[in-house]
């Protein structure tokens, strides 16, 4: 059996795991970073993107039979969906994780996001406050390299400027901003983990417009940066190693993690501390797979909360043609969002809403190509086709609103008893219902869409017929809390039951908000790494 030993064993080389690896290796701690999938070559990923018919988020990335992941081509291909609503959360099992195809938006959560029960009487409070996380947000912003507008606050209150100046709004957003101002709505540019200057040996953004699913230049941050830097600091990165079982000692400490290679040979990694950072689905799955005599419901699951409280955001999109050209497909995929409705007293009744304007037409990377097919089918050719193609595609705009959801113990992942992957591991069985809280919020959002569309002289309007679970947000399956009966990890992300096991990432979120999770994941990861170093007796 392959055997590896380290002080800290990190399972999952995505954003959370790679930041922890880098932070800990930098303090002289011996770190093993175990990743189920392979590394990614950027140039090859761009070629795969070019060759992909669908250009879906996962399309540029290597598909590993031994490390399957959900994909938009077949929502039942990996997940076993039990409904009632289809769960669309995707992630990548590669070094760098899902940050390879994220949009790069890194707003901090707001103060009230951490205290929903106290402030609005819904959901629950986190066991930490915004103030607790501020120093870690600041450090995470420097680590990732965040560009932002330090005057217009998008997210929690700041005390320092962003490391880099903002990514400027697209021309499209500027047209929108002018049109919606009389409605009392204001656009603000998002803080982004995307360079506005040379930073950390990566170039500034050159507006490739393919951020989702691939940045061809590395201007957009992805966590392979910190995986590489962790290795440069002495961490050991082992790829194509699928963790399938955590082994606990009689005293409750985790002794080892067993992993499988693609050829089904087994290995074992031992350590003093274990960090589980495999994203919300795989982390919960591993805890459940690790059930033993002493932990019949799975490792760290004395509360029966592992896999439960699965949260996502709910999306509602509207597409229309603007009266005047807005010229999409130029610049990052999004640059601005409406500032209003992301927090407020209304959250006692309905969700917060994040509304933004896609800079990718109606159909993203394939949009102009599909539009040309449609025009050709009508018999248009040559100059006539090109004039109409230009006229239409310059005016395509998509408004997207995203609603937060409330934690619900019945929204969960479990292990499917029958269906397994190629390594013989149970596939994740997903149960999900979109809640009335999000539906009510998106009903308000739809009214706002209609006003915005009218302000832009919109025609050929289509609204999503149904609400959809987000492709990009998955959280809650190993949530943090003060009470071991209702949570899986404590405020430092340490398992209540296993003192040397930490669960890092969005799985630890008690609530999901309407904001992007990655900056909060990053801050929590760095904070957890500091706790781990202290637990090992290492003081930075």
Partner 1 sequence: MKSYLSQFPHVQLTRRAFLVRSAIAVASLSLPLSAMAMSISSKGEDIFPAADFRELCAALAGGRVPALAEAEAYLAALQSLGMEKDLNELLKLVRSTPSGALDAAIKSAGLDTATNTIVAMVYSGMTGTGKNIRVITYTDALAWSALPYTKPNGRCGGEFGYWSQPPA
Contact residues: partner 1, CB under 8 A: 43-44, 46-53, 55, 168-171, 174, 196-198, 201-210, 214, 216-217, 325, 327-332, 335, 359-360, 364-365, 368-373, 376-377, 379-383, 385-386, 389-390, 393-394
Q: How is the beta sheet containing 80-84 ordered, strand by strand?
A: 80-84, 426-432, 412-420
Integer Cα distance of 296 and 509 in angstroms: 24
Measured from the CB atom, the residue of 324 and 410 that comes closer to partner 1 is 324
Beta strands in 30-148 (DSSP E): 31-34, 80-84, 147-148
Measured from the CB atom, the residue of 147 and 518 that comes closer to partner 1 is 147
Cβ atoms of 279 and 91 closer than 8 Å: yes
Q: What are the tokens at 41?
A: 């070559």
Measured from the CB atom, the residue of 331 and 428 that comes closer to partner 1 is 331
Q: What are the tokens at 165?
A: 């100046």
Integer Cα distance of 32 and 235 in angstroms: 6
Q: How far is the CB of 92 from partner 1 (least distance, A)?
A: 18
Q: How far is the CB of 43 from partner 1 (least distance, A)?
A: 8
Cβ atoms of 313 and 383 closer than 8 Å: no
Measured from the CB atom, the residue of 376 and 454 that comes closer to partner 1 is 376
Q: How far is the CB of 148 from partner 1 (least distance, A)?
A: 15
Q: How far is the CB of 146 from partner 1 (least distance, A)?
A: 16
Measured from the CB atom, the residue of 73 and 344 that comes closer to partner 1 is 73
Q: At which residue do the structure tokens 């060759």 appear?
A: 51
Q: At which residue do the structure tokens 């965040």 appear?
A: 146
Integer Cα distance of 104 and 332 in angstroms: 9
Measured from the CB atom, the residue of 335 and 405 that comes closer to partner 1 is 335
Measured from the CB atom, the residue of 373 and 422 that comes closer to partner 1 is 373
Cβ atoms of 10 and 32 closer than 8 Å: yes
> Burial of 391 by CB count in 10 Å (0-12 exposed, 13-18 middle, 19+ buried)?
exposed
Integer Cα distance of 7 and 24 in angstroms: 10
φ, ψ at 66 (rounded to 5°) = -80, -15
Integer Cα distance of 506 and 491 in angstroms: 13
Q: How far is the CB of 151 from partner 1 (least distance, A)?
A: 17
Q: What are the tokens at 198?
A: 């040379």
Q: How far is the CB of 184 from partner 1 (least distance, A)?
A: 24
Q: How far is the CB of 161 from partner 1 (least distance, A)?
A: 18
Q: How far is the CB of 206 from partner 1 (least distance, A)?
A: 4
Integer Cα distance of 55 and 124 in angstroms: 38
Measured from the CB atom, the residue of 41 and 266 that comes closer to partner 1 is 41
Q: Which helix (H) or strand (E) holds 448?
A: helix 436-455
Measured from the CB atom, the residue of 169 and 256 that comes closer to partner 1 is 169
Smallest CA-to-CA distance from 213 within 121, 91, 117 is with 91
Q: How far is the CB of 169 from partner 1 (least distance, A)?
A: 6
Q: Is the peptide bond before 84 cis (omega within 30 degrees of 0)?
A: yes
Cβ atoms of 109 and 156 closer than 8 Å: yes
CA 333 to chain centre: 16
Integer Cα distance of 306 and 266 in angstroms: 25
Q: How far is the CB of 362 from partner 1 (least distance, A)?
A: 14
Measured from the CB atom, the residue of 262 and 368 that comes closer to partner 1 is 368
Q: How far is the CB of 216 from partner 1 (least distance, A)?
A: 5
Radius of gyration in angstroms for the set of CA atoms belonging to the chain, rounded to a whole number: 23
Q: How far is the CB of 214 from partner 1 (least distance, A)?
A: 7
Measured from the CB atom, the residue of 292 and 386 that comes closer to partner 1 is 386
Integer Cα distance of 539 and 533 in angstroms: 7
Provide the β-strand partners of residue 247.
256
Distances (CA, A) of 520 to 235, 286, 436: 24, 23, 26
Measured from the CB atom, the residue of 201 and 466 that comes closer to partner 1 is 201
């Amino acid at each position: 059996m392959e055997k590896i030993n380290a002080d800290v064993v990190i399972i999952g080389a995505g954003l959370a795991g790679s930041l922890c690896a880098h932070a800990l290796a930098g303090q002289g701690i011996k770190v093993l970073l175990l990743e189920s999938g392979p590394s990614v070559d950027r140039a090859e990923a761009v070629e795969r993107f070019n060759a992909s018919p669908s250009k879906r988020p996962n399309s540029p990335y290597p598909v590993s039979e031994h490390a399957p992941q959900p994909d938009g081509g077949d929502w039942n291909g990996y997940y076993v969906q039990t409904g009632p609503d289809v769960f669309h959360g995707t992630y990548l099992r590669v070094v760098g994780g899902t940050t390879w195809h994220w949009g790069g938006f890194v707003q901090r959560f707001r103060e009230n996001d951490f205290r929903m029960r106290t402030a609005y009487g819904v959901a629950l409070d986190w066991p930490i406050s915004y103030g607790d996380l501020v120093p870690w947000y600041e450090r995470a912003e420097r680590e990732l390299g965040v560009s932002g507008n330090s005057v217009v606050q998008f997210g929690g209150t700041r005390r320092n400027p962003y490391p880099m100046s903002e990514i400027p709004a697209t021309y499209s957003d500027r047209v929108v901003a002018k049109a919606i101002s009389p409605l009392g709505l204001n656009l603000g540019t998002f803080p982004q983990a995307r360079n506005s200057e040379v930073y950390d040996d990566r170039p500034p953004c050159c507006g490739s417009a393919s951020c989702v699913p691939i940045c061809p230049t590395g201007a957009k941050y992805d966590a392979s940066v910190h995986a590489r830097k962790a290795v440069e600091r002495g961490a050991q990165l082992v790829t194509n190693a699928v963790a399938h079982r955590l082994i606990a000692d009689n005293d409750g400490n985790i002794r080892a993690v067993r992993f499988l290679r693609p050829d089904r040979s087994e290995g074992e990694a031992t350590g003093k501390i274990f960090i589980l950072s495999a994203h919300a689905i795989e982390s919960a799955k591993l805890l459940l797979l690790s059930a033993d005599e002493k932990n019949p419901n799975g490792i760290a699951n004395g509360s029966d909360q592992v896999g439960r409280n699965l949260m996502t955001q709910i999306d509602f999109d509207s597409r229309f043609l603007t009266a005047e050209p807005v010229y999409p497909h130029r610049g990052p995929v999004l640059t601005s969002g409406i500032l209003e409705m992301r927090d407020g007293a209304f959250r006692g009744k309905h969700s917060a809403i994040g509304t933004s304007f896609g800079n990718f037409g109606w159909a993203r990377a394939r949009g102009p190509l599909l539009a040309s097919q449609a025009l050709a089918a009508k018999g248009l050719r040559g100059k006539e086709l090109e004039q109409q193609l230009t006229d239409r595609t310059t005016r395509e705009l998509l408004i997207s609103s995203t609603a937060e959801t409330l934690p619900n113990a019945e929204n969960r992942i479990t292990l499917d008893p029958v269906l397994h992957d190629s390594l013989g591991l149970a596939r994740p069985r997903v149960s999900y219902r979109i809640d009335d809280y999000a539906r009510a919020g998106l009903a308000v959002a739809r009214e706002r869409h209609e006003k915005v569309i009218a302000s832009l002289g919109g025609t050929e309007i289509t609204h999503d017929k149904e609400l959809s679970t987000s492709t990009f947000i998955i959280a809650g399956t190993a949530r943090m809390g003060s009470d071991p009966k209702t949570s899986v990890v404590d405020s430092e992300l340490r398992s209540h039951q296993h003192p040397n096991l930490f669960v890092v990432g969005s799985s630890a979120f008690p609530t999901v908000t309407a904001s992007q999770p990655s900056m909060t994941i990053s801050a929590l990861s760095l904070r957890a790494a500091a706790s781990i170093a202290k637990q090992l007796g290492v003081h930075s």
